[in-house]
Amino acid sequence: MVSLSVNINKVATLRNSRGGNVPDVVQFARDCERFGADGITVHPRPDGRHIRYDDVYAVKKAIGVELNIEGFPTPEFVRLVCEVHPAQVTLVPDSPEQLTSNHGWDTIHEAAFLSELINIFHVENIRVSLFVDPVKEMVAGAKKVGADRVELYTGPYAELFMTDPQYAIDMYRPAAEKAKESGLGLNAGHDLTRDNLSLLINSFPWIDEVSIGHQLIADALYLGIEETIAQYKEKIKG
């Protein structure tokens, strides 16, 4: 079964817009677990515009499911991850001012940098996933530098799905199959929805985890978080 990791960044964004602790990010993470989420994802950024470093420590203590910490590996981020000790760290190559992650690592040209980071996290027994574009050479590069998994950036998939779903799948197939062939775990994330999720998973049933935040939280505004998680879990089942 593919795991559903709920990204709770947007809940923190709402809280931060008003100050105080409403909504309660830690309680929301607990509730996501109670309603069936297999994991919680957080992506702290240096400016603290959504999830903050102190939230990460608190969420880790509050949940029993896997915690996935995403982010660009600044020295502060690396220190955070090693102190919190999540099940998984997902390294993304975004700059501090980016609105959201929109491209993957060049695992070939940045091999030395990535290899050093991965060794640091492996010493702490933390699973490492690299955020990559759907390019089989980048997946192969991730294997060479020692990553445990890759997370395919599914923004282009979501966009193509709206006009040509089969072409969207064909575009991702070489990278997804390369991950399987290489023995890498396979995650997917970005712009996944109730509409496009089932096709992706049915096409690549070896996907280990999908990380979904923005659309899932938007759906919860209408459906409630319990019903939203239930619907996403049904889509994962196909």
Rounded to whole angstroms, the Cα distance separating 69 from 66 reads: 10
Q: Would residue 70 show up in a list of annotated catalytic residues for this protein?
A: yes
Of the listed 33, 50, 190, 209, which one is catalytic?
Answer: 190
- 128: which residues sit within 8 A by CB, 6+ positions away? 88, 89, 91, 117, 118, 121, 122, 146, 147, 148, 149
Of the listed 33, 66, 70, 209, which one is catalytic?
Answer: 70
Rounded to whole angstroms, the Cα distance separating 129 from 225 reads: 27
Q: Would residue 33 show up in a list of annotated catalytic residues for this protein?
A: no
**What's the N-to-C CA distance of the chain in angstroms?**
10
Nearest residue to 28 via CA among 225, 231, 211: 225
Rounded to whole angstroms, the Cα distance separating 54 from 36 reads: 25
Nearest residue to 143 via CA among 173, 172, 108: 108
Q: Would residue 122 show up in a list of annotated catalytic residues for this protein?
A: no
Rounded to whole angstroms, the Cα distance separating 107 from 115 reads: 9
Nearest residue to 101 via CA among 131, 126, 63, 130: 131
Of the listed 43, 50, 66, 151, which one is catalytic?
Answer: 43
Enzyme catalytic residues: 43, 70, 190
